[in-house]
Each structure stands twice: as structure tokens, then as C-alpha cells.
């Protein structure tokens, strides 16, 4: 696998493989492990490395492009997009509502798996501190 991108597919997960790729690439971009302009592996190369169909990787790249995180150019492949344009006040509010909903779902899932609120809070603090690095 490429040194710049480490993705692992959990075949036992209910989450589709393309979504796992999207989520992991999004994290790599957010953590700046994949900076703006970085080339993503070619679709067929990544598909072979992950043992998934090339359409799975292509769908992931299209999803990332639709989110504005990746730019796809015929003959050049996929690259990490530059910085996003500043969001409007309404877009930020909507993003915060979505964030809150998704975090509640994640917290609820891990509470039902036996993690304490303190353990979850520690993990969330660690993740947000890592984003500032």
C-alpha cells in the first residue's frame, strides 16, 4: 500500500467497503496526513491492495469528490482538494447540528457496548486535540 495512505477494510463490518474508504480518507485529510494536492492511489491499485472491486474504490472517490474533499481529473487521477471555501453562518449551523446528531449516535453505540461516559469523553478530547496538531 502507498506510504501516504493506510486504509483497512473490515469485511465483518455492516458498513459498506466504499463508505469505510470514504471515512478513512476523510480522517487522513482532516489530520493532514493527506495534504492538499496529495495524489490518491489509482483506483485499480487501491482496489487490488484492499481486495475489493475497482468500482468500490471509484465510488468512494466519487463520494469524496462530491463532498469537495477530492478532485478527480481524467488522466491525472484523484488528488486531495485545496482548502474549502469558508462556510456561511447557515452552513456552519447545519454542520454543527449534523455533528451533534452523529456524535450522539456514536456515544450511544459505545455506551451500549459498555464504555463509560468518562472513557468516551477522554477519547473525544484526544481526537480533537490531535486535530490541532
The pTM for the full model equals 0.72
Whole-angstrom CA distances from 23 to 35, 51, 63, 132 are 16, 18, 10, 19
Per DSSP, 116 falls in state -
pLDDT digits (tens, 9 = 90+) for 68-87: 999 999 888 999 998 777 77
The whole-angstrom separation of Cα 94 and Cα 52 is 34
pLDDT digits (tens, 9 = 90+) for 28-41: 998 888 999 999 99
pLDDT band at 133 (very low <50, low <70, confident <90, very high): low
pLDDT digits (tens, 9 = 90+) for 75-122: 889 999 987 777 788 888 998 999 999 999 999 999 999 999 999 999
Residue 81 in contact with residue 91, Cβ under 8 Å? no
What's the pLDDT at 3? 43
Q: Which of 72-76, 88-92, 124-128, 129-133 has the lowest mean pLDDT?
A: 129-133
Amino acid at each position: 500500500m502507498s506510504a501516504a495512505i493506510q486504509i483497512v477494510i473490515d469485511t465483518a463490518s455492516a458498513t459498506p467497503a466504499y463508505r469505510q474508504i470514504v471515512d478513512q480518507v476523510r480522517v487522513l485529510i482532516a489530520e493532514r496526513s493527506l495534504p492538499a494536492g496529495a495524489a490518491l492511489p489509482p483506483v485499480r491499485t487501491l482496489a487490488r491492495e484492499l481486495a475489493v472491486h475497482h468500482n468500490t474504490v471509484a465510488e468512494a472517490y466519487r463520494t469524496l469528490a462530491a463532498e469537495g474533499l477530492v478532485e478527480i481529473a481524467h488522466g491525472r487521477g484523484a488528488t486531495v482538494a485545496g482548502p474549502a471555501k469558508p462556510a456561511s453562518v447557515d452552513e456552519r449551523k447545519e454542520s454543527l447540528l449534523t455533528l451533534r446528531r452523529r456524535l450522539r449516535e456514536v456515544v450511544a453505540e459505545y455506551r451500549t457496548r459498555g464504555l463509560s461516559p468518562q472513557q468516551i469523553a477522554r477519547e473525544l478530547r484526544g481526537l480533537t486535540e490531535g486535530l490541532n496538531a
